[in-house]
A and B are shown apart, each in its own frame.
Chain A
């Protein structure tokens, strides 16, 4: 039986958020460099950043009362090998 705290899932989530942040910055930089002076790209960039903020804020709100210290127990399948039971 392996027991890990629930907060370990936050590390995986943080990795996804990091990946999202890197790609978001690259996308926005593309727009800023090659055409963000236009109203359309400004509106879309604003919508994108606002949408991302809403997703992250909603996640934070929904998980506000979570007890992250409780353990996740993963039981490994038990097996035994007895040489006597082996019949060729």
Chain B
């Protein structure tokens, strides 16, 4: 299920991945419906042309031209299919014992990776809004931080309320870890 995490981030000593999130699969299915609609367009146009000009698809020149045009169109539609998948699959949120990492694929040649230390988390909000999100159980999780980037957003993730709870648990565990490390450092200095 995981992205090749080591290629994108360098894990800190003692840091472990707790969970890994992608958008809800229904989002990708929605994009597949769009691809299917695009694929149906030439069929509709073809049926219309046959009705209007019955000899068009039998012409020695028009037939190959139409076939080549349709083939080129389907190749482009097929590129949409893989493009949507890459965009869906390479958008991910990784929660480790110390950080939240957001990997965002924007098209083919742009990727943004943001990191947030759990210790900087101030507030976590989950939201399920609308008919489809309520039916399929996906929504947004907003992580409010003290940093420059005010909000860290998990978009259209499954079970957002559970994700919020889990993040809060991790933040608490991280605070305890930091306190322990702080006590240990103080003792070593004494």
Q: Which of A40, A48, A72 contacts B82 (CB 8 A)?
A: A48
Q: Is the CB of A35 within 8 A of B4?
A: yes
A59 to B68, CA, bound (A): 7
Chain A residues, CB < 8 A from B86: 27, 30-31
Q: Is the CB of A9 within 8 A of B65?
A: yes
Chain B residue with minimal CB distance to A52?
A: B78
Q: Is the CB of A52 within 8 A of B75?
A: yes
A16-B76, A24-B79, A72-B61 are contacts. A59–B89 as well, Cβ < 8 Å?
A: no
A55 to B75, CA, bound (A): 7
Chain A residues within 8 Å of chain B by Cβ, number: 38
Chain B contact-residue range equals 20 to 34
A18-47 CB mask vs B (1 if < 8 Å, else 0) is 001001101110110111011011001100
Chain A residues at the B interface, C-beta cutoff of 8 Å? 6, 9-10, 12-13, 16-17, 20, 23-24, 26-28, 30-31, 33-35, 37-38, 40-41, 44-45, 48, 51-52, 55-56, 58-59, 62-63, 66-68, 70, 72
Chain B residues at the A interface, C-beta cutoff of 8 Å? 1-4, 7-8, 60-61, 63-65, 67-68, 71-72, 74-76, 78-79, 81-83, 85-86, 89-90, 105, 108
Q: A6-B64, A63-B68 are in contact. List 11 more A-B contacts (CB 8 A).
A: A10-B68, A16-B72, A23-B83, A27-B86, A28-B82, A30-B108, A31-B86, A35-B2, A55-B74, A56-B75, A66-B64
